[in-house]
Chain A
Amino acid sequence: MRKKDRIVFLFFSLFVGLFPLVVASIKAVSHYIDVMIFAGIFSLVSIGLCLLMGYAGQISLAQAAFMGIGAYCSGILTTHYGWPSSLALMVGLVVTGVVAYGVGVPSLKLKGHYLAMATLGFGMIVHIVLNEEVELTGGPSGLVGISGLGIGNFQISSPFAWYYLVWGCVATVMLFSLNLVRSRIGRAFLAIHADERAAQAMGVDVSNYKVKVFVLSALLASFAGSLYAHYVEFLNPGSFGLMWSIKFVLMVMVGGIQNLWGAVIGTVFLTFLSNEWLHFLADFEVLIYGLILLVIAMFIPQGLVTVVATKLLKKGLRDGA
């Protein structure tokens, strides 16, 4: 990790660590813990998508579908078959990994637009299956009675436990990803992003890396999906449709496409936006998301978070001097 990352990580840990303690003591915002748990779960997805999209330059509009595969594996195995949640989660990872590999190998041979359409089509197929396999998934009315998360007798039940579990995972995944992008593999991603032909001529096995980072991002989504299933204990196909895949793209874009910290901050910001601040504007939500995405993609490709952070930093330096 670079020095800058270390400092940011320190602040991040402090903030995330203290957040529930502060929030829990203020009645009006005590439910923010719950929102933050969701934000943490979604952050796992957007970190994966940031690696795929920002670093390796490959788009995926199927992240919500991968999340859905993980979630429904957890949901179905614990409700219909009485499996322990931790085992169900692992099976979810394996299933998602295999599916992502199967979809990734042929898709990632395709160029930009085709790749986007292929993942979009795949995501919609998953959504249709979730709606149609009523006996397994409960169909549109949903799957209820999913067990909580636990290993043996140890159950994760309090919001605090969930909070620290989820954000512990986020921190671990974040460290892993930061290390990854500052290594030979991260350089290979960036090279693929910049110029596939040149990367390959320099000895980078381009399709291999593309598939690997695609599977990695799918696994993170699946893991997040399983956490989601065990936390909410209820699933419904609507949470894994196209709109959600686009929301993940938006979360990454808000943070600045090639900025892992930005992806987390963007995710937290948008989760609060839709769960809290824009709640009364629910009908406008889709429109607002579209507009934000449009403006960022057109005018602020480096992302809102990056722009604001740079501004604050400059201001801080000026005031300090």
Chain B
Amino acid sequence: MARKLLRLESVSRKFGGLDALRNVTYAVPEGVIQAIIGPNGAGKTTLFNCVSGVFPPTSGSIYFDGVRIDGLPSHKIAALGVSRTFQNVALFKNMSVLENVMLGRHRQSRAGFLACGFRLPSMKREEQEIIRRAREYLDFVGLVDEENKPAGSLPLGKQKILEIARALATEPRLLLLDEPAGGLNTAETEQLGDLIRRIKKTLGVTVLLVEHDMNLVMECSDLVVVLHFGTVLASGTPSEVKNNEKVIEVYLGSAAN
């Protein structure tokens, strides 16, 4: 059994009277593509927000590589090696494509106010390095030709890819993708599947994938967990989950209408 990279222990999150997550206990092994599926409002995004520190869980604990991370602010969690994308694209629209990815390198660079303000040689060297690495990531996702465009001017498909490049630039060990295929056409979705597999293979990053597109999930993922009303309904390999009775009931029930 592979090492567990992310461990959730009875994680709950309430919003007023609403239980978005209830006692979720689950562990993600290192080096897999782990899909999280579930109907709208199941708590998938809430789970991501708890793991990445957008807000803390109401109770329970979260461990990343053995370190307890629940309640840490999200920049600290990012520093430990967790990065993410957002369901509604959250690019810095006022910056260029390249600058967005360069921002991803923030943690990997040091220059302070004085070094930046006076453009000390150390800062210049670092800046060159940031640009070089950012271009590598743009190249990896196939956006290198767009680097000078404003991020907001890209079509949605490319914005989603750019968000992944920005997240990768932080050199995460765990990447959370929140509905990366939402709003993409079939060709784009195929390319996306390809990219996700390369992220795991080439970069060795563990991927947590929230997705409604079942083809993508079944093709890409090694493991699937099903959330339903904030609880884990089932988990296992894609084929196990596909044939799970409870899942069929919930999913086909909702897919029917």
Instruction: Assess A/B contact in the complex (Cβ within 8 A).
Output: yes
The CA of A190 and the CA of B75, in the complex, are separated in Å by 16
Question: Interface size of A by Cβ–Cβ distance < 8 Å?
Answer: 29
Q: Given A184-B127, A204-B75: A212 and B92 within 8 A (CB)? A: no
A-chain residues with CB within 8 Å of residue B107 when the two chains form the complex: 202-203
B54, B106, B118, B166: which contacts A197 (Cβ < 8 A)? B54
B86, B93, B109, B123: which contacts A194 (Cβ < 8 A)? B93
B-chain residues with CB within 8 Å of residue A179 when the two chains form the complex: 116-119
The smallest beta-carbon distance between A28 and chain B, in angstroms, is 40
Q: Mark A147-189, 1 if CB is under 8 A from B, else 0.
A: 0000000000000000000000000000011011001111110
In the complex, chain B residues 199-224 whose Cβ is within 8 Å of any chain A Cβ: none
Q: A202 to B104, Cβ gap below 8 A?
A: yes
Q: A188 to B103, Cβ gap below 8 A?
A: yes
The smallest beta-carbon distance between B125 and chain A, in angstroms, is 13
In the complex, chain B residues 71-108 whose Cβ is within 8 Å of any chain A Cβ: 73-75, 78-79, 83-84, 86, 90-95, 99, 102-107
A180, A184, A206, A212: which contacts B75 (Cβ < 8 A)? A206
Q: B117 to A176, Cβ gap below 8 A?
A: yes
B52, B78, B127: which contacts A183 (Cβ < 8 A)? B127
A274 at the interface (CB under 8 A from B): no
B-chain residues with CB within 8 Å of residue A176 when the two chains form the complex: 117-118
Q: Mark A264-276, 1 if CB is under 8 A from B, else 0.
A: 0000000000000
The smallest beta-carbon distance between A241 and chain B, in angstroms, is 30
Q: Given A204-B75, A216-B113: A183 and B95 within 8 A (CB)? A: no
The CA of A1 and the CA of B83, in the complex, are separated in Å by 31
A-chain residues with CB within 8 Å of residue B34 when the two chains form the complex: none
The 5 A-B residue pairs with the shortest CB-CB distance, nearest first, are A183-B116, A203-B107, A203-B78, A198-B90, A194-B92
Q: Which residues of A contact B (CB under 8 A)?
A: 1, 176-177, 179-180, 183-188, 190-191, 193-195, 197-206, 212, 216, 258
Contacts A201-B78, A201-B83, A203-B106 aside, 18 further interface pairs with beta carbons under 8 A come to A176-B117, A179-B117, A179-B118, A183-B123, A184-B127, A188-B103, A190-B94, A191-B103, A194-B93, A195-B92, A197-B54, A197-B86, A200-B53, A201-B52, A201-B75, A201-B86, A202-B83, A203-B104
